Amino acid sequence: MKISYDPDTDALYIIFKKRNYKMSKELERDIIFDYSKDNEIIGVEILNASKKLPKKELKTISFDILVK
């Protein structure tokens, strides 16, 4: 998993899997899901991220990987 934030475009992108990209669907305004050729969700893009998430958190993005 990879999480990146671009302050110039104010976009947060979360990559779940490296797969061949097929299409994107905007499921909610500024929330875009990317799908693979196998129709798996491979990523999520959040546009205008600073309006949806605390700016302080965007500067220090971290994540935990939970494995069962």
CA-CA distances (angstroms) from residue 2 to 5, 29, 58?
A: 10, 22, 14
State the virtual CA torsion across 5, 8, 19, 65 in degrees, nearest 10: 0
Whole-model pTM? 0.76
Residue whose C-alpha is closest to residue 49's, from 11, 14, 9: 11
The CA angle 54-1-10, to the nearest 5 degrees, is 35
68 residues of the chain, pLDDT tens digit each: 888 888 899 899 998 888 899 999 999 999 999 999 999 999 999 999 988 877 766 666 665 555 55
- Sorted by where each begins, the domain ranges of the chain are 2-59
